Amino acid sequence: MSMKYLLVLAARSAWNRKLTLGLTVMAVALSVTLLLGVERLREQAHKGFSLSVSGTDLIVGARTSPVQLMLYAVFRVGEATNNISWSSYEKLAQQPLVAWSVPISLGDSHHGFPVLGTNQDYFKHYHYGDNLALRFAAGRPFSSTFDTVLGAEVAERLGYKLGSRITLSHGMGLGGLPEHKDKPFVVTGILKPTGTPVDRTVHVSLEAISAIHLDWAGGIQPPGFHIPQEYVRKFDLQPKEITAALIGLKSRAAVFRVQRAVNENKDEALLAVMPGVALEQLWQVVGVAEKSLLAVSVIVVVVSLSGLVAVIMAGLNERRRELAILRSVGAQPREILMLLTYEGVFVTLAGIVIGLALLSGVTIGAAPIMQEKFGVAMTMSLPSIGEFKLMGAVMLIGLLASLLPAYRAYRLSLADGLTPRV
Amino acid sequence: MKTVQCMLGLILLAIANCPHSIAADYQVGERVGNTKAAPKANASYRVLDWDDMIPADWDPMQAIKGLDLDKLDDADPRAIEALEQMRSAWNDAPVVPGLNSQRVQIPGFVVPLDMNGTKIREFLLVPYFGACIHVPPPPSNQVIHVILPKILPKDQQKTIDAAAQEYGPVSVSGTLETVASNTSMGFAGYRIKADRFAPYQIKGR
């Protein structure tokens, strides 16, 4: 019998048992979705995070864990433990080795999107990816106090255009936040998409952050106390404190020296981290969880493939006669072995293909949530090398697993299937 | 039974394949060792030792020399002053100008600076492990800023990425540039425009 006939035979026979095999395919598909999903999430998180900052030598903030400083200052995940004073920042910015510095002030939000107070240097010095600068899709950087520049995603999701008026909320999160209603902002610029947290950020000037909190005390606006927008300019809007600062040095090799100077600062407890080092530390922390997740999903795949073996094994009993007839018309034991192996391999292959399709669906569905909650950009893409490796491993396990029932069928004698049982 | 063993083997394989290994295999402060003992990859590069990068007449310990350390308390103002002097000597460590634009090969530990995705684009090379996190950083003439070429063969990029993940060692070849302290940088230091990278194994490990 040629291979083609065997394949046709295997397919037809499988079609006869489509319900049980179909369920097995679904089990394999779901397990493959889980496995590839974990791998994809891991890869995209790594990629997204490391793309988010480039060319910055040090990130300076209040003394805390390096990973945490990195998380809130660059990825806007979690909240700042403390602020640093403006005078410390100025002293730092004037050090001879510092080429540029960008102050950052966080804490407010707009419909769940973080608001970042900074100055014009941010648009010049903040780089991402392979040393790319921010570019404007429309408009220009903010120039007056109540101007704002939106990230690409903020503008798109909320439907803002140049000239739109928006109000900021006090604090982070969604809903139930007190609003800075009395001081609306005008959109003067919209940035091009970057695939980094910048897309989800509302940028205003540091003076604006001071201005909207002028008439606030202890986190609320005291009743009856109100400074109208037009009078704000009469106050000193020089910020008293900022959340963090991005620092670029004249010589990158000087980074240790400046870092030590910041960390040993006697006036205020400051911390300087090197983004590359902090990221590696983050991966070491996350690595344990990643590995256990991957291990669990590998086990799920094995369980589903055991199910596959069980289904084909159980099917052997029903198919005694079928196989015996094949033998009686001239099929060799070797061909019976192939027949059953094909079935197992087909089911695994179908599982992998459907699993991959499911994963694409889930990726599209979950991408906005992942972006919003964890700052991880999930993009549709061809499977990576890592994913192909995993799929290959599943395929291999599937092949080996289906050899088990195949070998059993191979051993069944011709007479065994033809003798009627009582 | 065999199948079960195979499956278990494959699971282990899949887990072991997971690219991130945790915790580096090096001790804090461990040095790259005798660099001259390393196999010479290419005759056109001069194999450089970290000590070659310190001018022969530079002595950061000068401030301590005159002191009898046994008789000094840690909190003694003289001891503190000497320590401060030593530190500033470390900060302003001079470079060896003769090394400028030489083609060199030197091994060291990687401290990652910039990454594009999972790929390292720039890093610092230091003579001992843990320079960035656990122990005081080396003096400025013991740090090399390494700039990667735009296009690098895949296996070499992999070597660096793997080294960066655990701050491990790598051997760098390229053109060394010195930046003197009287330039606008306000800082003396070394920079390598790298041509090629090779895995580096510390002797006796």
Q: Taking CB atoms and an 8 Å limit, are B187 and A51 in contact across chains?
A: no
A345 close to A399: Cβ distance less than 8 angstroms: yes
User: Does the pLDDT value for residue A223 go beyond 80?
Assistant: no
Within this chain, do residues A92 and A179 fall inside the same structural domain, yes or no? yes
A396 touches chain B (CB under 8 A): yes
Q: Which residues of B touch A65 (CB under 8 A)?
A: none
pLDDT of residue A421: 62
Q: How many CB pairs under 8 A join A and B?
A: 133
Within this chain, do residues A82 and A209 fall inside the same structural domain, yes or no? yes
Within this chain, do residues A90 and A45 fall inside the same structural domain, yes or no? no
A401 touches chain B (CB under 8 A): yes
Q: State the Cα–Cα distance between residues B140 and B128, nearest whole angstrom.
A: 14
Pairing type for strands B119-126 and B102-116 reads antiparallel
pLDDT of residue A218: 62
- The tens digit of pLDDT for each residue in A168-207 reads 888 776 666 777 777 889 999 999 988 888 998 999 999 9
What DSSP assignment string belongs to A205-271? EHHHHHHHTTT-BTTB--TT----GGGGGGS----SEESEEEEEESSGGGHHHHHHHHHT-SSS-EE
Q: Taking CB atoms and an 8 Å limit, are B187 and A260 in contact across chains?
A: no
Q: State the Cα–Cα distance between residues A332 and A324, nearest whole angstrom.
A: 11
Going from N- to C-terminal start, the domains of chain B cover 26-56+94-199, 62-91
pLDDT of residue A173: 66
Single residue among A253, A273, A293 that ends a domain in this structure: A273
pLDDT of residue B11: 53
Q: Taking CB atoms and an 8 Å limit, are A291 and B15 in contact across chains?
A: yes
Within this chain, do residues A343 and A231 fall inside the same structural domain, yes or no? no
Q: Taking CB atoms and an 8 Å limit, are B22 and A284 in contact across chains?
A: yes
- The tens digit of pLDDT for each residue in A328-356 reads 888 888 888 888 898 889 999 999 999 99
Single residue among A246, A273, A300 that ends a domain in this structure: A273
Within this chain, do residues A338 and A255 fall inside the same structural domain, yes or no? no
What DSSP assignment string belongs to A91-119? HHHTSTTEEEEEEEEEEEEETTEEEEEE-
Count of CB atoms situated within 10 Å of the CB of A96:
12
pLDDT more than 70, % of chain A = 92
Within this chain, do residues A71 and A205 fall inside the same structural domain, yes or no? yes
A60 close to A271: Cβ distance less than 8 angstroms: yes
Q: How many domains does chain A have?
A: 2
Q: Taking CB atoms and an 8 Å limit, are A283 and B20 in contact across chains?
A: yes
Within this chain, do residues A92 and A213 fall inside the same structural domain, yes or no? yes
**Mean of pLDDT over chain A:** 86
B180 touches chain A (CB under 8 A): no
**CA A141 and chain centroid, separation:** 29
Q: State the Cα–Cα distance between residues A219 and A327, nearest whole angstrom.
A: 83
CATH class, domain B26-56+94-199, is: mainly beta
- Locate A336 and state its tokens: 């019976």
Q: Compute the average pLDDT of residues A135-161.
A: 91
pLDDT of residue B1: 46
Q: Which residues of B touch A264 (CB under 8 A)?
A: none
The phi, psi pair for A270, rounded to 5°, reads -115, 160
- The tens digit of pLDDT for each residue in A265-274 reads 888 999 999 9
Which of the given ranges, A395-404, B14-23, B74-83, has the highest pLDDT on average? A395-404
Within this chain, do residues A228 and A92 fall inside the same structural domain, yes or no? yes
Residue B16 CB burial class (10 angstroms; 0-12, 13-18, ≥19): exposed
Q: State the Cα–Cα distance between residues B68 and A77, nearest whole angstrom.
A: 52
Within this chain, do residues A26 and A76 fall inside the same structural domain, yes or no? no
A56: which DSSP letter? Answer: -
Give Cβ neighbours of residue A61 (< 8 Å, ≥ 6 apart): A69, A72, A73, A80, A84, A243, A244, A245, A270, A271
Partner-chain residue, chosen from B15, B122, B184, that has the shortest CB–CB distance to A295: B15
**Mean of pLDDT over chain B:** 76
- The tens digit of pLDDT for each residue in A73-131 reads 988 888 888 899 999 999 999 988 899 999 999 988 888 889 999 999 999 999 988 78
Single residue among A273, A295, A323 that ends a domain in this structure: A273
Within this chain, do residues A63 and A42 fall inside the same structural domain, yes or no? no
Q: Which of A32, A51, A58, A251 to mutate to test the interface with B (most CBs of B within 10 A)?
A: A251
pLDDT more than 90, % of chain B = 3
pLDDT of residue B196: 87
User: Does the pLDDT value for residue A395 go beyond 90?
Assistant: yes
Q: Which domain holds residue A105?
A: 58-273
Within this chain, do residues A311 and A261 fall inside the same structural domain, yes or no? no
Within this chain, do residues A255 and A299 fall inside the same structural domain, yes or no? no
Helices A385-411 and A275-318, packing angle to 10 deg: 20
pLDDT of residue B205: 58
Residues 30-49 of A with CB under 8 A from B: 46-47
Q: State the Cα–Cα distance between residues A343 and A410, nearest whole angstrom.
A: 14
The phi, psi pair for B25, rounded to 5°, reads -95, 10
Give Cβ neighbours of residue B155 (< 8 Å, ≥ 6 apart): none
- The tens digit of pLDDT for each residue in B83-102 reads 778 777 777 778 888 888 88
